[in-house]
Amino acid sequence: MTDAQRVRHESDGGSMRKLMLVGTATTRPEAIGSLFRSEGDGEWQQVSDIPSDASVQAITPHPTRENVIFLATRKGLYRSTDGGDSWHKLNAAEEGVPFWSVVVSPHDPDVLIAGTSPVGFYRSDDGGDTWRKCKADPSERYAISFGGSRAMRVAFHPTNPKLLYAVAEINGLFVSEDGGESWRGESRGLSVLAAMPHLKNTELTDDDTEGMFDAHAVSTTSSRPDSIFYICRMGIFESDDGGKTFRDLEVGKYAPFSYSRECRFVFGEPRKMYACFSISSRSTAGALYGSDDLGETWYRADSQIQARSTMMGFGTHVSDPNGVITVTRGGQVFCTTDGSKTWTEKQLPANAGDAFCGAIL
């Protein structure tokens, strides 16, 4: 925890508004793919500033500006500067470019990187007011039915602002060594893993290396700055050499399923991480697991709840390690404000689309 973060955390007592935001996607006819919000014990309300067919894929609260929040949607990028009360679309790209991720640099609060489908990246140096397109290799590794692969998550190296990582669904790992201005694919370590018999897997193509390249998230931590935690259909893998080699964290030793959608570290506790596991992209179960030792061992963090569909994502509070929100494809939302000791459940409205992301403020 930096001095600035500590002052902010202590000044507000680590308090939370208990405002929950959940993003949904238009994954079935008539479903609402927008942003839903609930504060305190209130009911879910659809946010009127976000179109009903936007399909919200990522919610990113600014780590140091408490009232600023960003959304990545298939209809563009949005920003709130009043804690989620109102939203405005940003002039990030031409119409029709779908965004799947957005991240704030831990090194400069004005720098943001956003990822698109097909794989592409945009950078802002002024807090989201203006954007420019970065250079990236958009080539597709697999012929997939749903179109171009998606830049699902971006992560900065904790100490080197020039070094960034990104992952793409059905396209593996990408690396930037110039602050996000240009990107290249890094397939060496993943290809070695994909050749191992127990890591061969296919769902969308006839290529059994597909599973290892079906990436959903990437994380870094100041506790081990050179490590990349790569989250994909086959589990969680760690690299300490920029993706040239990986080791399997073998989450299947601790969880009954290892299909992974998200992994995040906890504010102020750089060795503590959460990850959500399920059976597959569409399934009847899911759970949140925690690790206090950088993924060496895992434990069930939400044993008192029961997810009835795939856990698609979760969010950790940006300034309070006790706040976590998880969402399932079927619209279950689970929240804890005491570090996963107790959980509350609040089901989204029936007309909401599949839930993909959540944030707690």
DSSP 33: B
Q: What pLDDT was estimated at residue 6?
A: 37
For residue range 245-273, list pLDDT tens digits in order: 999 999 999 999 999 999 999 999 999 99
Q: What SS3 state is found at 174? A: strand
Overall average pLDDT of the 280-305 stretch: 97
Is the pLDDT confidence value at 17 over 60?
Answer: yes
**What pLDDT score was predicted for residue 13?**
41
Lowest mean pLDDT among 68-72, 95-99, 136-140, 315-319: 136-140
| Segment 207-251, tens digit of pLDDT | 999 999 999 999 999 999 999 999 999 999 999 999 999 999 999
pLDDT at res. 145 = 80
Report the pLDDT value the prediction gives residue 2, as an integer from 0 to 100.
40
Helix (H) or strand (E) holding 247: strand 247-248
Mean pLDDT of the chain: 94
pLDDT in tens, 157-184: 999 999 999 999 999 999 999 999 999 9
Which of helix, strand or coil describes residue 271?
strand
Instruction: List the one residue out of 162, 152, 84, 133 whose CA is nearest residue 313.
Output: 152
The structural domains of the chain, ordered by start, are 3-360 (2.130.10.10)
- pLDDT exceeds cutoff 60 at 7: no
**Residue among 358, 346, 249, 286 at smallest CA distance from 41:** 346
172, β-bridge pairs: 168
Q: Where are the beta strands (DSSP E) in 40-163?
A: 45-46, 56-61, 69-73, 76-80, 88-89, 99-104, 112-116, 120-124, 132-133, 135-136, 150-156
| 3-class state of residue 191 by DSSP | helix
Summarize the confidence of residues 144-152 as an average pLDDT: 88
